[in-house]
Structure 1
Amino acid sequence: MYLKKLITVILCTALLLCSSGIAYADAGRNDHPHQGNIIITPQMVYIYESQSKLNITSTGQAQVKCYVEGYSGIVTKVSIEAELQQYKNGDWVVINSWYQSSSSYRLTLSKSTTVPKGYSYRVVADVTAYSGSDSETQTVISSEVDY
């Protein structure tokens, strides 16, 4: 009887020791300076940060703001191609577009236009960072805004 209890205790101890080695992934801290719509993306080679934002005022003024920043000392040029899209009849339709570039490592595109009521809107921006003849493009989509 004593031997049976001893074997049981040893087996339980071994089981506990083996199972305690399981490691769980840690979500970690979110140190991103722009709390809000955080999107986890792969590490980029040339693009350090990018954003696409849309705000629509009570009078229907759509304010578009897109931003790209490359790694300083590596990136020689950046560009932003932004589209303001309207959700209509089940599809996203481009209602306005802009392009801007800079011989720098960062760029902000700020535009505004009037939009009609009764639709959802978003901004889709292709931001590109150049380093010599190489380039890297990332598509950044804003949150949808109902107006």
Structure 2
Amino acid sequence: MTIEINRAGWATVAVLVGRLIFAAVFIMAVSFKLMDIGATAGYIASAGFPMPTLLAWLAALFELALIACFLTGAYFSEAALLAAAYVLFLAFAFHGPSHWAGNQTEFGFFVDHFTFIAGLLFAAAHGPGQLLAMKRGWIARR
């Protein structure tokens, strides 16, 4: 006797859980920003960026847009690509090689960003799935 696994059902659940994980990560990030935008601006300033308060608010708004895309599926692939570029920027700007000498833990944070980027790129290539996804975007599907 064999048990047949419904691959389409499993894949649908996996895609939905993946979308929720992406959204949750950015929900946490934007929550910390909004709870203390001044601290976020201070962290941005410590990395040497000008206009840190403006950049903190822009980051929060960008993350809110990503959350909307991940939860609805609208412009999902585009959002995943933009999120991957954003996470790559964050990796280098806040955890890059210049931070490793003073704290080797920063190297671990740096590498962790790439696992997240890999997931975002995979998601961008495969889209939001068939369930609970608004079919809007600029990237054409095969």
Q: Normalised by the size of structure 2, how large is the TM-score?
A: 0.23
User: Which structure's residues are more often helix, by fraction?
Assistant: 2
Q: Normalised by the size of structure 1, how large is the TM-score?
A: 0.22
> Which fold has the larger relative contact order, with Cα–Cα distance below 8 Å and residues 6 or more apart in sequence?
2
Task: Tell me which structure has the larger Cα radius of gyration.
Answer: 1
User: Which structure's residues are more often strand, by fraction?
Assistant: 1
